[in-house]
Structure 1
Amino acid sequence: MIATEDWTPADKLTLEPSAMTVVKSIKGCYALTAGPGAGKTEMLAQRADFLLRTQTCRYPKRILAISFKTDASGNLRDRVIRRCGHELATRFDSFTFHAFAKKIIDRFRPILIGLDALDSDYKIGEARVHRKQITFSDLVPFAISILESSDMVRNIIKNTYTDVFLDEFQDCTNLQYKLIQLAFLGTNARIVSVGDSKQRIMGWAGALEGIFKTYADDFSATPLRLYLNFRSKPRLLRLQNEIIRVLEPESVMPEGSLDGEEGKILIECFTDAQAEAVFIAGQIQNWLEVEHIPAYEIAILISKQIDLYAHCLMDELNRLNIPFRNEQQLQDLSNEPITQLLVDFVLCIYSEHEPKSWIKLHEKIATFDDIDHSSVTLKISSYIQKESKSYRQSKDYSNWWENIRFLLKTLKAKRLITLSPSYESVDYLKQLVLEFKQELESILSLEVDLIEALIRFSGDNAIRLLTIHKSKGLEFDSVIMMAIEKEIFFGKERDERCAFFVGASRAKRQLLLTHTNSRSRPNNHSGRWNVNRAPYHEFLNYCRLVQ
């Protein structure tokens, strides 16, 4: 145990005064707003370290963290483990909203009655089947129903968690907020919500406007703001600041923090999409071969409809043999816990230097409560050693799929479904495994080395091609934003301005914006399409102001 006054941030990190206030708070709730690159996730990890190592969260009480995406939830959990170790981190529960809701349903299912009643072996599928199956979107409403019906359940949750973290809170929906209210309003739980209203780009999915003020009023939370951005170079910070002046003037970064000429912003206009594609592919080739920027540090962002806007570019990248990942197809698949498990297992067999993969595989197995971890781990470890030895002798990896089938058979579906609430639909789980097989086979048709193919699937050695929405929470050395045009940013003005802000703030060192005078209709696309294009002058002018 460490005395609260003796605690210092793990890894000797320096935190902003407002961040340190939140991290070391022992009472009350906070609404912390912070822009991109402010270290919101790291701040939460440091707070967990403080609460656990000082016993401010006293055993056997727990900490609950709720994120919006599975990968964000896993990232926070991993950071907490690195900060305070496995033993203390066992009292840190990191869930998505849907995973937290399912935990409530599984534990208190008998409270559901009538049309909402569920059998103990209920599944999650595409349609409601009385007692037998609910849909993924039913999870939060069913959990709300349980909390509304039972004081006992609310008391159990109250007595379980002393602290709650709410990440990316600007995207919270009405039902998600109701779940939080029912579980924690009127309790002594210390709640910290973090997010950035300037990155509220999920309005189409029901994200509540003004959620931070609503939460601060309801929970008597103290509002605080982080201003510093530790991600981007000064010229890029000044660009972000110009957008902030319009979106949220009170959040403008202090001028002294923007000094310096580091960072690069370029704007290029082209006659058509083919000329744009040739230039971008050439620029990327230069970054890779001359500037030696790692491929995973380069991203191409498009507001929406990647396949319609980037088909010329993808052809050009293939022509130059530049590996890339179309994240519209792959990001969700590569972030699935089941595919990460399979990648780590295969890497353990076929790569000679993958201790991290073995550690992650072992940690995943340790989460399965109904197995003898020692015997299962030994069985899998012996299999890996045997297959690895065989591969070193033959250099033949053609049986990689048979190896995966061994792992799936050993762990069994009833254990694998615990990796994610959505895997309660065994058909969905099988579909993901099949998609992984098909995608890896597709990559292997272009990349003969299995390890390189796995790295490309995981995005570790490939250019990332993704929508602005998918880029949220990520960062790259060099970012290209294509099609800065009125015809693609056609939503509500503020929503599109927020989207542009999110995209521009992904870049750490350099940002390239492109637009064209015309874009030919893509083949086999019969929907609305504008051939003639108009630049989005507002967004381009932000850049010209700081060039």
Structure 2
Amino acid sequence: MQTPEDILAGLDAEQRQAATALTGPVRILAGAGTGKTRAITHRIAYGVATGVYNPYNVLAVTFTARAAAEMRSRLRDLGAHGVQARTFHAAALSQLQYFWQQAVGGDMPRLVDHKTNLIMEAAQRLRMTTDKATIRDLAGEIEWAKFNMLTPQTYQQRAGHRSMPSGWDLIAVTRLFQAYEDLKSDRALIDFEDVLLIMVGILESEPRIAATIRKQYRIFLVDEFQDVSPLQYRLLKGWLGDRDDLCVVGDTSQTIYSFTGATADFLLDFTQDFPNATQINLIRDYRSTPQIVELANRLLQERTRADRPSLPRWPQPLELLSQRDPGPAPVFAECTHDQAEAEWVAQQIQQLVAEGHKGSDMAVLFRTNAQSAAFEQVLSDAGISYQVRGAERFFNRREVRDGILQLRAAAKSADGVAGSEVVTRVKDVLASLGYTPIAPQQSGAVRERWESLNAIVNLAEDLVTARGDQVTMDVVVAELDERASHQHAPVMDGVTLASIHSAKGLEWDTVFLVGLTEGLMPISFATEDKNVDEERRLLYVGITRAKTRLFLSWSLARSAGGRASRRPSRFLQAIRPSTTRSASSSTERTAKTRRAKVSKCRTCGAVLSSGAERKIGRCQDCPPTYDQAVFDSLVSWRKDISTADKVPAFVVFTDATLVAIAEKMPTDLQQLRQLPGIGPKKLERYGAEVLAILSSGKATQHPGRGSTSNV
């Protein structure tokens, strides 16, 4: 266990003040990148090391399983074993399961993991029709109501000001809310919000149970306190009772979840409930360069200077001070259309990778998940590995499950293996599942499998770096098991694609903020001032995810040749330079040099208006000029490839590219490379097979892929 002096070593003055303020109420306002997790974990560890805290009496609460797991890992490294670090839901569920028999009796209801299916059934009972997207919106509305402790009856009285999901009014949503509650009651089910509500009821109506919990937990710390809902705050007050050993940490400038019921009011008004609270501000930014920090500060300062009396409450934001050396200036890029923006981003990533930067150190962040598809396609075409945050869970992947099983078996015969030898043993075990020291060049399923296994290897290496010879195979397996129980995935290779909301709490060396136009940032339905303020905070969160390089881009039209009717986001006015780069992709530059050759249909001479038409060199109304058998062979070959690699067919080649290949009939790799949609990676991987199909005229067997029939 580290000494108290060791724990405080390396903390700055403000972090040290936070770490040594061990008793009574404490409010820590911590700006982005100021090391708040470091400060609060060292605070707990210092309290344990000095004997002020019994670790088993400390409950640290945060909002995501990932953040809780990160906190537990850091506390273990600091020697503070026994401290509970959980989400609100996890802590409440554990208590509810323990006290259910005593407080309620009988079997505890089953927990609803996902309420969307139940809401869909409730809608069908009411003979209301809706789609999956609206069901998600309705689920969010019900969650908002319950986080604000509203019943269907009180919801109708209190929610008149809220925008209802498309096609629904207040009365219809209220009826659905009631039907959903009735359906749960009929089937003895509870949802995650019910867990908190029931636990609040027990704490307030069962003095003996409340006393037992308060005897167990005496010291409380709540991270991301700006995201607390009224229900969560009431639960926290129930845990506390009449005591005041509570430390809260947050940043009002990162309040971006009000649509779920979160409010920064509890952080702002903390001294009303705790008048003697110690106040500490963390403003030294260790994450981002001065250029990025200055940009983030300016974004908030513009709103702070606004003096319209009708504007909603806007607390004075923390002005961050970067502690890093200067870096490159943020890049602002205006693109002609969405495809050009995606291609421009891919080109910047390729250049950075060529300079030696890792894809896992980069992220493309957007306002809505629907924006992801264009970037997935372009990165795939360019042969750039990526991962979509929020896609299939890491620990649900077959190769990960198999890897953990094999490592668990290997641990039984690994006595005496410790430290760096553990990493070697992990690599040997995972080799049977496809792990190799060097990453495979191909994309698709093979690369995804390797990246999953490599993430396990990286985790083992990180454990050895942190704990040295204390790490054994059993330690690695235990870490994987704990992470699996909380879905705390290790860091993977590849560029991250994510919404800004899902990127909260994360950081990358390079960040691309894309789609920064009116209607997306701020989003079109942010019609009230308070919603626009939240969109500004969301952009602030996006900017402060970047450590060294920041790219901000937008496009003026949806598609090539479309009307340039979009306007850059109003938030850019305060932060963009007077002159902005007009970005164009390599495809656009090539198109400009060949405009006379490809802008008109080669058959009828009509102007080509879409990207797909320009790709094949003729308009869609004109008949194709390719041999149907050749085209069918290409389609069949693509199907084989996509099935083998477990990727959508368009990831291999789009339909337009196959048409262009069949019509042009290239005879060598150089001619094939000149066709749109075929980059160096695809040429290297598929070029020989495509040329073999073309040379055979009509292929009934694809080279290296086995016999297939034509589609």
The reply to whether TM is greater than 0.5 is yes
> Number of residue pairs matched?
448
Aligned CA distance change for structure 1 residues 137 and 58 (closer, same or farther; 3 Å): closer
Query: CA contact under 8 A between 1:112 and 1:145: conserved in structure 2?
Result: no
Query: CA contact under 8 A between 1:111 and 1:146: conserved in structure 2?
Result: no
Percentage identity across aligned positions? 22
Aligned CA distance change for structure 1 residues 249 and 262 (closer, same or farther; 3 Å): farther
- Asked if residue 51 in structure 1 is aligned to residue 42 in structure 2, the reply is no
- Asked if residue 23 in structure 1 is aligned to residue 19 in structure 2, the reply is yes
- Asked if residue 494 in structure 1 is aligned to residue 536 in structure 2, the reply is no
Aligned CA distance change for structure 1 residues 497 and 445 (closer, same or farther; 3 Å): closer
Q: CA deviation at 1:461?
A: 0.7
Q: Secondary structure at the match of 2:368?
A: coil
Q: CA deviation at 1:468?
A: 0.4
Query: CA contact under 8 A between 1:297 and 1:463: conserved in structure 2?
Result: yes
Distance 2:429 2:320 in 1: 61
Q: CA deviation at 1:376?
A: 12
Give the aligned residue type for 1:56: V
- Asked if residue 7 in structure 1 is aligned to residue 4 in structure 2, the reply is yes
Q: CA deviation at 1:27?
A: 2.1
Distance 1:396 1:258 in 2: 45
Aligned CA distance change for structure 1 residues 162 and 340 (closer, same or farther; 3 Å): farther
Give the aligned residue type for 2:507: E
Question: 1:110-259 to 2 correspondence within 5 Å?
Answer: 110-113=101-104, 119-120=107-108, 122-125=110-113, 126=115, 128-129=184-185, 132-187=188-243, 189-220=244-275, 221-245=277-301, 246-247=303-304, 250-253=316-319
- Asked if residue 343 in structure 1 is aligned to residue 415 in structure 2, the reply is no
Q: CA deviation at 1:122?
A: 4.2
Distance 2:374 2:444 in 1: 21
Q: Secondary structure at the match of 1:212?
A: helix
Query: CA contact under 8 A between 2:218 and 2:240: conserved in structure 1?
Result: no
Query: CA contact under 8 A between 2:332 and 2:553: conserved in structure 1?
Result: yes
Partner residue of 1:371?
Answer: none
Aligned CA distance change for structure 1 residues 253 and 135 (closer, same or farther; 3 Å): closer
Give the aligned residue type for 2:551: L
Distance 1:394 1:227 in 2: 44
Would you tell me which structure has more strand in proportion to its own residues?
1
Give the aligned residue type for 1:45: T
Q: CA deviation at 1:21?
A: 2.1
Q: Secondary structure at the match of 1:480?
A: strand
Q: CA deviation at 1:23?
A: 1.3
Partner residue of 2:515?
Answer: 483
Question: 1:98-113 to 2 correspondence within 5 Å?
Answer: 98-113=89-104
Query: CA contact under 8 A between 2:343 and 2:378: conserved in structure 1?
Result: yes
Distance 1:179 1:341 in 2: 38
- Asked if residue 446 in structure 1 is aligned to residue 510 in structure 2, the reply is no
Question: 1:317-466 to 2 correspondence within 5 Å?
Answer: 317-330=379-392, 333-334=393-394, 339=396, 343=400, 346=403, 349=406, 378=412, 397=433, 445-447=444-446, 450-455=449-454, 459-466=491-498
Normalised to the residue count of structure 2, the TM-score between the two structures is 0.57
Distance 1:348 1:36 in 2: 39
Distance 2:207 2:431 in 1: 62
Q: CA deviation at 1:312?
A: 2.6
Distance 2:4 2:268 in 1: 31
- The Cα offsets for residues 412-448 of structure 1, whole Å up to 9 and x where unpaired, read as xxxxxxxxxxxxxxxxxxxxxxxxxxxxxxx985325
Partner residue of 2:28?
Answer: 32
Partner residue of 2:307?
Answer: none
- The Cα offsets for residues 468-512 of structure 1, whole Å up to 9 and x where unpaired, read as 001100111100000111111222210110000000000000110
Normalised to the residue count of structure 1, the TM-score between the two structures is 0.73
Partner residue of 1:293?
Answer: 357
Give the aligned residue type for 1:281: A
Distance 1:137 1:41 in 2: 27
- Asked if residue 267 in structure 1 is aligned to residue 332 in structure 2, the reply is yes
Q: CA deviation at 1:183?
A: 1.4
Query: CA contact under 8 A between 2:399 and 2:433: conserved in structure 1?
Result: no
Q: CA deviation at 1:20?
A: 1.9
Distance 1:52 1:222 in 2: 20
Aligned CA distance change for structure 1 residues 379 and 340 (closer, same or farther; 3 Å): farther
Distance 2:210 2:315 in 1: 40
Query: CA contact under 8 A between 1:185 and 1:219: conserved in structure 2?
Result: no
Distance 2:428 2:410 in 1: 24
Q: CA deviation at 1:29?
A: 0.8
Aligned CA distance change for structure 1 residues 69 and 57 (closer, same or farther; 3 Å): same
Structure with higher Rg: it is 2
Aligned CA distance change for structure 1 residues 193 and 266 (closer, same or farther; 3 Å): same
> Which one of the candidate residues 81, 89, 94 is aligned to 1:89?
81
Query: CA contact under 8 A between 1:347 and 1:451: conserved in structure 2?
Result: no
Query: CA contact under 8 A between 2:329 and 2:549: conserved in structure 1?
Result: yes
Q: Which has the higher contact order (CA 8 A, sep 6+)?
A: 1
Q: CA deviation at 1:154?
A: 1.9
Partner residue of 1:429?
Answer: none
Query: CA contact under 8 A between 2:337 and 2:557: conserved in structure 1?
Result: yes
Give the aligned residue type for 1:464: T
Distance 2:579 2:212 in 1: 54
- The Cα offsets for residues 153-185 of structure 1, whole Å up to 9 and x where unpaired, read as 221122112311101110000100000111104
Q: Secondary structure at the match of 2:297?
A: helix
> Which one of the candidate residues 538, 552, 558 is aligned to 1:519?
558
Q: CA deviation at 1:136?
A: 2.1
Query: CA contact under 8 A between 2:204 and 2:238: conserved in structure 1?
Result: yes
Aligned CA distance change for structure 1 residues 448 and 45 (closer, same or farther; 3 Å): closer
Query: CA contact under 8 A between 1:174 and 1:207: conserved in structure 2?
Result: yes
Distance 2:564 2:241 in 1: 53
Q: Secondary structure at the match of 2:553?
A: strand
